[in-house]
């Protein structure tokens, strides 16, 4: 206690020292200066990275013919630019977030962008029409061997740092803007990177063959994907109908009075913008063929779309309808392809962004989005001839049970193992099976690529599932209806079942209110308190 008084006196003397205000000002100024320096370095790093990306784009355009990459159109989806990656238009090489260099009506569309759900590039809504057909081709049956599909690094994938940090040829660092001496390309299949200057050396020494990278066993090789062409009988029938209608239209036009013909000859010399009968019939017959579905065996390969999508495909990736065009043939013996199901409505609605990442890491043909109108049966039908494959379910416990029910109905001699990428609210089954409690836990453990590696090497565990038969007797007619339900691990018939049912029905009625995992916990709490 005797030391307290002298200590306080010493502190008071220190505060009254004449140099202390200057020292505090110096610390404040130094802090602001350090923050400004860090900010300037980050801006400089971003500018340097953007410079090298643009340089890689120019180099690829100049060497496109020598790369020998198959042509494939981008699958554009409309979105709004909110920062993040990519931040540069792949066509005009300008920023996506500002209207600089844009005049007139285009300025209002500056924040509306088109993103490719297959390779991840982005473009202005008015630039996407002129984009090169340099997306990765998912169906290359008959093309052997598979070649690297080199492209710019529009999107930085942090899921696989071992591959993305060094050049595939010289093992020198990639992606260091201050030390980089050459633009960098990335293969859209194996995710390896290479300096542009090293690419010519690679071609001379080892060739341009791609082995699909670390998760090659899970990827469906594009050489094993065959595009089903339109049947000759259907094509001939449509052509005969078209020719008959065109000939009928010509005969009716020939019977018109010559006066009208002369009036047309003296009209304005500009070309009439009205579409011809042949083009109209093409659209009508094409729509007729699409509506008929052609018994689910055929689909039009290149449908004509709206005015904003000439020779492009719009949608949320390769849609389930488009997948019917493909079949899997001649898979490698060591292949264990992964069939992916994504429920976009699960949890925080991370399905669309997750699907875009999986499309970049895998073959988009093997990824299916579940909905009320499309269940897992379509994907299982595509893989019905594959002997050894695995299933990855991206969703909650209900989505996993849905997929397991569909697998059960297929009567496999050896059912495919099912892994889980948790996207739901509770993810109880995922926690029990050691797949994590949510997408954030997956990110902390190495990201999606690390999860794919775990799926490839995971041990198979038997899961108990109960077959429950429910019989309902009809006293008036003396008949008995029977329903069979599959239960996983537990069976709830009381208040827990009512809470889950109320949550499910409310989410179906008001999907916009279920946008986060924390918010869904609040809904569960509300439904529980009502009981």
Q: Are residues 499 and 453 in the same domain?
A: no
Lowest mean pLDDT among 4-13, 128-137, 308-317, 324-333: 308-317
Residue 222 lies in a domain: no
Residue 384's domain comprises 320-464
DSSP 332-369: -TT---EEEEEETTSTTT-HHHHHHHHHHHS-GGGEEE
Read off the pLDDT band of 298 (50, 70, 90): very low
In which region does residue 57 sit, left (phi positive, over 0), alpha (psi from -120 to 50) or beta (all else)? alpha
Residue 404 lies in a domain: yes
Q: Are residues 527 and 459 in the same domain?
A: no
Q: Which two tokens stand for residue 444?
A: 């902390």
Q: Which of 240, 148, 233, 238 is nearest to 188 (CA)?
A: 148
- Position 311 scores a pLDDT of 32
Residue 523 lies in a domain: yes
Strands 418-422 and 390-395: parallel
Three-class secondary structure of residue 278 per DSSP: helix
Do 321 and 348 meet the contact criterion of CB atoms below 8 Å apart?
A: no
Q: What is the widest separation between alpha-carbon atoms in the chain?
A: 123
Give dist(CA 240, CA 447) in Å, integer.
Answer: 54
Segments of 264-330 assigned E as strands = 313-314, 326-328
Read off the pLDDT band of 259 (50, 70, 90): very low
- Position 265 scores a pLDDT of 38
Q: Are residues 503 and 394 in the same domain?
A: no
Give the helix/strand (H/E) hosting 390: strand 390-395
Mapping DSSP onto H, E and C, the string for 421-483 reads EECCCCCHHHHHCCCCCCHHHHHHCCHHHHHHHHHHHCCCCCCCEEEEEEEEEECCCCEEEEE
Q: Are residues 334 and 412 in the same domain?
A: yes
What CATH number is given to the structural domain containing 435? 3.40.50.10330
Considering 71-80, 104-113, 211-220, 504-513, the range whose residues carry the highest mean pLDDT is 211-220
pLDDT in tens, 133-190: 889 999 988 877 899 998 887 776 655 555 557 888 888 887 655 555 678 888 999 9
Residue 3 lies in a domain: no
Percentage of the chain with pLDDT > 70? 62
DSSP 122: E
- Position 432 scores a pLDDT of 85
Give dist(CA 112, CA 99) in Å, integer.
Answer: 11
Residue 162 lies in a domain: no
pLDDT, mean of residues 444-462? 90
Number of domains into which the chain is organized: 2
Lowest mean pLDDT among 151-155, 233-237, 296-300: 296-300
Helix axes 447-457, 351-361, angle to 10 degrees: 70
Q: Are residues 509 and 405 in the same domain?
A: no
Q: Are residues 460 and 496 in the same domain?
A: no
pLDDT in tens, 359-411: 999 999 999 999 888 899 999 999 998 989 999 999 988 899 999 999 988 98
Residue 370 lies in a domain: yes
Q: Are residues 502 and 383 in the same domain?
A: no
Q: Are residues 339 and 458 in the same domain?
A: yes
């Amino acid at each position: 206690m005797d030391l307290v008084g002298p200590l306080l006196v010493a502190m008071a003397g220190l505060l009254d020292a004449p140099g202390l205000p200057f020292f505090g000002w110096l610390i404040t100024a130094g802090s602001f200066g350090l923050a400004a320096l860090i900010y300037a370095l980050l801006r400089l790093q971003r500018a340097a990275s953007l410079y090298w990306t643009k340089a890689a784009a120019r180099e690829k355009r100049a060497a496109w013919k020598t790369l020998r990459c198959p042509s494939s159109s981008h699958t554009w989806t409309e979105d709004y630019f909110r920062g993040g990656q990519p931040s540069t238009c792949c066509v005009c090489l300008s920023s996506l977030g500002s209207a600089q260099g844009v005049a007139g009506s285009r300025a209002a569309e500056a924040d509306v962008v088109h993103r490719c759900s297959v390779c991840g590039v982005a473009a202005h809504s008015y630039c996407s029409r002129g984009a090169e057909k340099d997306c990765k081709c998912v169906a290359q049956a008959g093309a052997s061997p598979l070649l690297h599909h080199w492209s710019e690094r529009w999107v930085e994938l942090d899921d696989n740092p071992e591959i993305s940090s060094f050049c595939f040829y010289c093992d020198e660092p990639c992606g260091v803007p201050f030390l980089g001496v050459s633009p960098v390309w990335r293969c859209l299949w194996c995710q390896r990177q290479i300096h542009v200057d090293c690419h010519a050396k690679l071609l001379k020494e080892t060739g341009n063959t791609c082995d699909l990278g670390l998760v090659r066993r899970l990827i469906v090789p594009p050489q094993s994907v065959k595009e089903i062409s339109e049947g000759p009988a259907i094509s001939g029938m449509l052509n005969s109908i078209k020719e008959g209608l065109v000939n009928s239209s010509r005969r009716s036009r020939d019977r018109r009075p010559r006066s009208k013909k002369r009036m047309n000859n003296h009209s304005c010399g500009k070309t009439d913008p009205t579409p011809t009968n042949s083009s109209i019939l093409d659209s009508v017959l094409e729509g007729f063929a699409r509506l008929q579905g052609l018994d689910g065996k055929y689909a039009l390969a290149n449908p004509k779309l709206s005015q904003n999508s000439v020779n492009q495909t719009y949608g949320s990736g390769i849609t389930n309808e488009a997948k019917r065009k493909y079949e899997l043939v001649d898979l490698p013996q060591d292949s264990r392809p992964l069939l992916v199901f994504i429920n976009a409505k699960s949890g925080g609605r991370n399905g669309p962004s997750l699907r875009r990442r999986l499309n970049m890491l895998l073959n988009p043909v093997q990824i299916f989005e579940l909905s009320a109108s499309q269940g897992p049966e379509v994907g299982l039908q595509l893989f019905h001839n594959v002997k050894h494959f695995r299933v990855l379910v991206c969703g909650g416990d209900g989505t996993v049970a849905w997929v397991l029910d569909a697998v059960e109905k297929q009567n496999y001699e050896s059912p495919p193992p099912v892994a889980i990428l948790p996207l739901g609210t509770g993810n109880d089954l995922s926690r029990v099976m050691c797949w994590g409690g949510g997408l954030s836990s997956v990110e902390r453990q190495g990201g999606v690529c690390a999860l794919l590696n775990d799926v490839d090497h995971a041990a198979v565990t038997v899961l108990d599932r109960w077959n429950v038969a429910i019989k309902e007797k009809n006293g008036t007619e003396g008949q008995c209806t029977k329903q069979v339900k599959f239960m996983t691990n537990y069976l709830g018939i009381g208040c827990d079942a009512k809470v889950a049912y109320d949550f499910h029905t409310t989410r179906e009625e008001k999907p916009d209110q279920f946008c986060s995992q924390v918010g869904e916990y609040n809904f569960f709490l509300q439904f529980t308190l009502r009981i």
